[in-house]
């Protein structure tokens, strides 16, 4: 790790390097700041250029010693050039396929960093409030190192995600109410019992550093190009801010002059951040009665709306924008991604492709521009949502005649 400190995102005061989530002076979130000017820029450039795996970025990750690193081979996911959808939309479209992470979602990046920092602090029990992917992911990393793990999920979380977390041996806490209720309970438990809290909002200052690595990978996978747009489905939006921070670092170290414009996407049944963007507001209001097929991004931000405001600042600073998409648009994009690109993702992830279609139509994304969709989670994670809409297929007698009759093959 390069020299780094915890600094308050609100008042700018420094805070002790410890398992702490809020500034002791003003109560705002903390963030990791590196002493960039004390780093050897040429050496960092070389490290970034020559990186072969996630932990090769360790100079810009907050884990104090390699001994503490807990890894399952996260990151280093493919950047797929679009086979068809980009051509149809006349844009240069790519998919950063985060479904290839060890537990099937990008959450392995923030969790690998967060749990490794926790380990370096001597913590042996970790927790997370999650809409499912974060839970399954943390459960895996905790199992890898023999830690205890409690995951807090809204009771509506899809069964496959809960089962995945459970198989890794985590204690499953299903919470009545929406994601925000799970968030509050995990926070109270972590503070009471001194657990490491890896909830993937801006709460834990270390996890966002794992999200950053998506930016480094994209940049080198595109032969040192910064895309014009990066499209990100938003929960609280730490991933979006993390990716943007990664590009800011690439610029700082002299690898590029250009920063991408960040597009945040939410479902119109739970869109607190996009609503504020559209109203040109700088603060965010919690969403009442969230309801969407995109469970992975269904975060009403109730009790921590300042997280949404942080994401808004990142989107605006980048010259980006925010988009709402309907559940119908999401499911259509999900099927298109599977059928035209062979990328099978969960609804939350398909929201980004739905947004690209919308923004091209609106003329915000222009012809030939370079666009990267972050495909955040695997389709098998929420398999029920495609099973219920698939017509059941009748079985046939095992002979060619029956086959040809039913499928009209001639």
Ligand X SMILES: *Cc1c(COP(=O)(O)O)cnc(C)c1O
Residues of this chain that interact with ligand X (CB under 6 A) are 105, 107, 133-134, 200, 233-239, 296-297, 346, 348-349, 376-377
Measured CA to CA, the distance from residue 327 to residue 118 in angstroms comes to: 37
Measured CA to CA, the distance from residue 409 to residue 202 in angstroms comes to: 55
* Cβ contact 379:336 at 8 Å: no
CA 252 to chain centroid: 23
For the CB of residue 237, give the shortest distance to ligand X in the complex, in Å: 4
Residue with smaller CB distance to ligand X, 205 or 377: 377
For the CB of residue 252, give the shortest distance to ligand X in the complex, in Å: 22
Residue with smaller CB distance to ligand X, 253 or 275: 275
Residue with smaller CB distance to ligand X, 111 or 370: 111
For the CB of residue 49, give the shortest distance to ligand X in the complex, in Å: 27
Residue with smaller CB distance to ligand X, 4 or 203: 203
Residue with smaller CB distance to ligand X, 44 or 297: 297
Tell me the CB-side half-sphere exposure of residue 290, using CA atoms within 13 A: 28
Residue with smaller CB distance to ligand X, 161 or 358: 161
Residue with smaller CB distance to ligand X, 205 or 296: 296
Tell me the CB-side half-sphere exposure of residue 107, using CA atoms within 13 A: 31
* Cβ contact 324:267 at 8 Å: yes
Give the residue at shortest CB distance from ligand X. Answer: 235
For the CB of residue 308, give the shortest distance to ligand X in the complex, in Å: 10
Q: Vertex 293, ends 184 and 375: CA angle to 5°?
A: 90
Handedness of CA 129, 135, 141, 144 (dihedral sign): positive
* Cβ contact 300:290 at 8 Å: yes
For the CB of residue 153, give the shortest distance to ligand X in the complex, in Å: 12
Residue with smaller CB distance to ligand X, 44 or 218: 218
Measured CA to CA, the distance from residue 18 to residue 59 in angstroms comes to: 19
CB-count exposure of residue 76 (10 Å: 0-12, 13-18, 19+)? middle
Beta strands in 38-88 (DSSP E): 79-81
Torsion region of 310: left, alpha or beta (phi above 0 gives left; psi -120 to 50 gives alpha): alpha
For the CB of residue 279, give the shortest distance to ligand X in the complex, in Å: 20
For the CB of residue 18, give the shortest distance to ligand X in the complex, in Å: 23
For the CB of residue 16, give the shortest distance to ligand X in the complex, in Å: 25
**Which DSSP letter does residue 8 get?**
E
Residue with smaller CB distance to ligand X, 82 or 349: 349
For the CB of residue 244, give the shortest distance to ligand X in the complex, in Å: 12
- Which residue is it, tokens 């945040």? 264
Measured CA to CA, the distance from residue 69 to residue 114 in angstroms comes to: 10
* Cβ contact 228:318 at 8 Å: no
For the CB of residue 138, give the shortest distance to ligand X in the complex, in Å: 12
**Alpha-helical segments (H) within 96-178:** 108-120, 133-145, 159-167
Measured CA to CA, the distance from residue 187 to residue 181 in angstroms comes to: 10
- Which residue is it, tokens 């990978």? 217
Residue with smaller CB distance to ligand X, 255 or 262: 262
């Amino acid at each position: 790790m390069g020299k780094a400190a915890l600094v308050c995102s609100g008042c700018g005061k420094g805070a002790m390097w410890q398992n702490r989530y809020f500034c002791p002076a003003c109560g705002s979130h903390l963030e990791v700041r590196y002493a960039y000017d004390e780093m050897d820029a040429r050496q960092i450039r070389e490290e970034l250029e020559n990186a072969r795996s996630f932990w090769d970025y360790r100079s810009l990750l907050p884990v104090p010693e390699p001994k503490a690193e807990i890894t399952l081979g996260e990151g280093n996911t493919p950047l797929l050039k679009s086979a068809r959808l980009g051509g149809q939309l006349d844009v240069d479209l790519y998919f950063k396929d985060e479904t290839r992470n060890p537990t099937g979602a990008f959450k392995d990046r923030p969790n690998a960093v967060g749990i490794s920092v926790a380990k370096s602090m001597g913590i042996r029990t970790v927790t997370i409030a999650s809409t499912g992917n974060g839970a399954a992911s943390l459960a895996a990393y905790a199992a890898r190192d023999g830690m205890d793990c409690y995951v807090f999920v809204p009771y509506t979380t899809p069964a496959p995600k809960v089962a995945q977390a459970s198989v890794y041996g985590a204690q499953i806490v299903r919470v009545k109410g929406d994601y925000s209720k799970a968030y509050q309970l995990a926070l109270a438990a972590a503070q009471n019992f001194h657990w490491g809290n890896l909830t993937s909002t801006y709460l834990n200052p270390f996890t966002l550093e794992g999200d950053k690595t998506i930016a480094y990978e994209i940049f080198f996978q595109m032969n040192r190009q910064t895309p014009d747009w990066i499209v990100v489905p938003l929960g609280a939006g730490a991933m979006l801010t993390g990716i943007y921070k990664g590009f800011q670092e690439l610029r700082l170290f002299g690898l590029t002059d250009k920063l991408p414009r960040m597009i945040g996407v939410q479902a119109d049944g739970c869109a607190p951040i996009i609503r504020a963007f559209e109203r040109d507001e700088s603060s965010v209001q919690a969403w009442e009665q969230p309801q969407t097929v995109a469970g992975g991004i269904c975060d009403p931000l109730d009790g921590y709306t300042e997280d949404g405001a942080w994401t808004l600042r990142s989107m605006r600073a980048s010259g980006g924008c925010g988009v709402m998409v309907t559940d119908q648009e999401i499911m259509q994009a999900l099927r298109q991604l599977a059928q035209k690109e062979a990328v099978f993702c969960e609804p939350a992830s398909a929201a980004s492709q739905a947004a690209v279609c919308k923004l091209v139509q609106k003329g915000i994304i222009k012809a030939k521009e370079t666009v990267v969709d972050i495909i955040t989670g695997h389709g098998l994670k929420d398999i029920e949502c495609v099973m219920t809409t698939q017509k059941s297929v009748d079985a046939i007698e095992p002979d060619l005649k029956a086959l040809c009759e039913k499928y009209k093959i001639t």
